[in-house]
Structure 1
Amino acid sequence: MSKRKMKNAHLPVGECIIQVQKIFRERLCHQQLPDRLEGVEAQHKHVLELLKRTAVHGESNSVLIVGPRGAGKTMLLKCVLRDLQEEKEVQQNLLQVHLNGLLQTDDRIALKEITRQLHLENVVGDKVFGSFAENLAFLLEALKKGDRSSSRPVLFVLDEFDLFAHHKNQTLLYNLFDISQSAQAPIAVVGLTCRLDVLELLEKRVKSRFSHRQIHLLSNPTFPQYLERVRTQLTLPDDFPDDGFAQDWNASVKTLCEDKSVEDVLQRHFNSSKDFRSMHMLLMLCLSRVSAAKPAIKPADLLEASRLCFADAVANMLHGLSILELCLIIAMKHLNDVYEGEPFNFQMVHNEFKKFLQRKSNSMYNFDPPVIMKAFEHLQQLELIRPVDSAAAKTQREYQLMRLMLDHSQIMEALQKYPQCPTDVKQWAMSAFG
């Protein structure tokens, strides 16, 4: 009874907003697992059955989950592992090793990580092994239970699987697939990759030991599905402590998703990326604008969040430059226009800047050459300009050939938004003669 009263209690708006932000941070940032996966039920069932056969019956398997970024490969596997752990026999039995091709960049590092995750550092000690295969076989042998000769099943998850194919001789992949095929120990190898041609990367001997099972996830939602996903992601759950607030919030979300301007913004995002993670970023930016004074998401919030998502990061960097640095960028722009994109050096930029100063009686732009050089080097640190080749480092600084990494439109857009940009600098940028 008390719980019912608590649920229907009217909390202060500020308290409700804190709860709202907590729920959505968990949902959107921590990629909270859904209770039930939609659209990939067949793939979920397939992977679950494969891993269950390894965990419960000691049958070795190998499989690749293939799909574009953001298609839900990792979420699918996490949901399978969550459902698998509900079985008591699996909880006590299955060991997991998670490797990532971006982190374990060679087989030696991978083997070290396998040893660490299986807690076998003390068992290995200072032993010296003749080969990688010998070392891996020793690790799996060490997992055998004391009461019977059967080894504990191990699940190897290889994220960014295609990067492991670039390791020397593909030793790790060869040995894992060899063990899974020869039933030396019960292991399951699950690879996650974006590469549709991943099998072409495998050596013949590795390919012959792989089961050739591939599960494809092709994320291709329609716009109405995308819109519905936005609505469900912003909807408060039934167990929200304040019923009245939750009903008002959910009604406002429904109205928001039916707004034409909102639909146009979401259509633009949908056209640029169907990846749900970029949608989550957009929604988090909207939620950051919600407060006790404004306890709902308005169309204007979504428009502003969209503007931030599509903002040009390089153009934004220009807003933080000093006037001197901005003048050097304009000088480079004029050199690019005159010499049709040919490389330039500091001396050329300095001369272009001096031509601008000579036309101005104003002394506010008079800087010493070392100060100008320092500003030029800062632009290089920001990677707004870069040397044409690495050999340039041997050339005297003033004569190193550089390229401008900005195009005309980025510079002009940044100038429009530059806080209190002097009129003569703007006019110089727009003039054709430099």
Structure 2
Amino acid sequence: MTGSVARVRTEVLAKLNGRRRAHIVGLEHEHREIRDLLEGTIESGEGNSCLIIGPRSTGKTTLVENTLEEMEGKYPGQFITIRLSGFCHGEDKMALREVSRQLDYAFAQSAGKSVYDIDTLEKKSMTETVASVLSLFESGVSENSVAVVFILEELDRFAQSPRQTLLYNLLEIAQTSSVGVAVIGLTARINSRETLEKRVRSRFSQRVYQFRRPSNIDDFWRVVRNNLTVSTDEHGQDGAQWNDHIQQLYESGGTLYDLVEHIYYTSKDHRQLNALLLYAVSRADPFINPADLTKYRDQQRISDTQSFVDGLSELELALLICAARAEVKLESDTMNFNLVYDEYAEVAKEISRGRAAVTTTDIDSGIAMGARAGYRIWSKEAARAAWERLEAMDLILTINSAPSKAPTSAVADEIKMVKVDAGLLELGHMIGRGHTLFEWTKL
């Protein structure tokens, strides 16, 4: 393998495992909107805010980070980026301390000094830390003032804190600060805006961008191909040959097409496909061997989850599959018992109607098929008991939310938000095509 071909493979592997961000496909309008928002903050000192909502793996973070990288090239040294995550900084005090730390680090870097050699914003007292951060934004504009961009990943977790102090302060700063401030929130929860308190919502600019999964397999392939191909400007003829090879693999209708089709019609999560393709790309010499495309998936060890799934009753398995279906259909990684039971009842009724139609046809033909008629739909009480057993086995994971003083009850359990431990694609592989519920793993 020549050095140039090895560089092509290295770049593709970096995009598949997330070490290198791919260019955004199909989000050109949203990219322009975010770029204009950031330029207004950096160039004109505007205070801006927006909320980006969409399922996981739809490009929210990648779009924002690519746009920030573009701004750094166009406006070097003219803005500071503060990144917070609801997973790490869900508590307001912790988040405000992290804001002060990142600001201290940015100021020390611009001055060519160590953080220990400057008068830091972070103080021992939380009150002093908050006051020093707020005074920074309240001070007048100077020649050396720079804009500040706040990126809030998992914004819905910040909204769970009492009084939402962090969100209120950041949006208040964006409105009143003497320097340009932008607040960009990202979340996979579709009702995040409704969870904001009135005083927080009143300071929000109401810019909301909805990201969605690809609506057809051609759009999904464009996203996948973007991760598998390289720029011909950088890699020349070798890059062009690699790109042609990838397109031919897909258009031939072979293994690559089957993998793309299967994941599109189950989870629509291109990251699952990236994981499956890593093995084949790592062995490419100089091109991908089609036989390697499924070898990684076929040789994966059976997960601990499968040992639980094999022992589930039909009702328990049906609820688990319906939870995974709801995850894909609602484009949200959280759901509750009520949503899952509604999905279960809907699918079961469709199966029952289908079997009844087949039975009627067979009777008309003189064939007795009474045993196949209908499909039993279990009551909500029976389903709740099965749901509790899934929780006990950690196949359904409870989401920790803000503490509540309300007593637990059956109603509270039904609306309690949870995550499913296995995806729809994974469940389909576990139970196999011969299982009576395999068709349920297809949307």
What TM-score range do you get, normalising by the shorter chain? 0.5 to 0.7
> How far apart, CA to CA, are the structure 1 residues paired with 2:235 and 2:205?
50
Call closer, same or farther: CA 1:114–1:299 in 2, change over 3 Å. Answer: same
Shift of 1:308: 5.3
User: Aligned ranges for residues 154-173 of structure 1 at < 5 Å?
Assistant: 154-173=148-167
Tell me the amino acid that sits aligned with residue 7 of structure 2.
Q
Structure 2 unaligned regions, length at least 5: 108-114, 317-390, 395-420, 431-443
Per the alignment, residue 358 of structure 1 pairs with none
Per the alignment, residue 431 of structure 1 pairs with none
Call closer, same or farther: CA 1:258–1:271 in 2, change over 3 Å. Answer: same
Shift of 1:193: 0.6
Per the alignment, residue 257 of structure 1 pairs with 250
Shift of 1:231: 4.2
> How far apart, CA to CA, are the structure 1 residues paired with 2:164 and 2:181?
18
Provide the aligned C-alpha RMSD in A: 3.8
CA contact (8 A) 2:121 2:129 kept: no
Q: TM-score, normalised by structure 1?
A: 0.61
Per the alignment, residue 304 of structure 2 pairs with 314
Per the alignment, residue 65 of structure 1 pairs with 52
Per the alignment, residue 134 of structure 1 pairs with 131
Tell me the amino acid that sits aligned with residue 131 of structure 2.
E
Post-superposition CA distance 1:245-281 (Å, at most 9, x none): 6565444433321333422232111112212222222
> How far apart, CA to CA, are the structure 2 residues paired with 1:125 and 1:177?
20
Q: What SS does structure 1 have at the residue aligned with 2:77? A: helix
Post-superposition CA distance 1:347-396 (Å, at most 9, x none): xxxxxxxxxxxxxxxxxxxxxxxxxxxxxxxxxxxx9979xxxxxxxxxx
Shift of 1:31: 5.5
> How far apart, CA to CA, are the structure 1 residues paired with 2:4 and 2:126?
60
Tell me the amino acid that sits aligned with residue 137 of structure 2.
L
User: Aligned ranges for residues 264-343 of structure 1 at < 5 Å?
Assistant: 264-291=258-285, 295-307=286-298, 312-314=302-304
User: Aligned ranges for residues 14-413 of structure 1 at < 5 Å?
Assistant: 15=3, 18-30=6-18, 32-34=20-22, 37-87=24-74, 90-119=75-104, 122-124=119-121, 126=123, 128=125, 130=127, 134-141=131-138, 147=143, 151-238=145-232, 243=237, 249-262=242-255, 263-291=257-285, 295-307=286-298, 312-314=302-304
Tell me the amino acid that sits aligned with residue 288 of structure 1.
S
Shift of 1:29: 2.2
Per the alignment, residue 391 of structure 1 pairs with none
Q: What SS does structure 2 have at the residue aligned with 1:65? A: strand
My pick for the range that moved more, 204-213 or 177-186, is: 177-186
> How far apart, CA to CA, are the structure 2 residues paired with 1:197 and 1:68?
12
Structure 1 unaligned regions, length at least 5: 1-12, 319-328, 341-382, 387-404, 415-434
Post-superposition CA distance 1:122-170 (Å, at most 9, x none): 333646464775343134357x66558xx53211110111110112221
Q: What SS does structure 1 have at the residue aligned with 2:73? A: coil
My pick for the range that moved more, 161-170 or 18-27, is: 18-27
CA contact (8 A) 1:129 1:135 kept: no
CA contact (8 A) 2:101 2:122 kept: no
Call closer, same or farther: CA 1:38–1:106 in 2, change over 3 Å. Answer: same
Q: TM-score, normalised by structure 2?
A: 0.60
> How far apart, CA to CA, are the structure 2 residues paired with 1:76 and 1:15?
31
Q: What SS does structure 2 have at the residue aligned with 1:209? A: coil
CA contact (8 A) 1:256 1:298 kept: no
Call closer, same or farther: CA 1:45–1:272 in 2, change over 3 Å. Answer: same
Shift of 1:301: 1.6
Per the alignment, residue 353 of structure 2 pairs with none
Percent identity over the alignment is: 30
CA contact (8 A) 1:259 1:299 kept: no
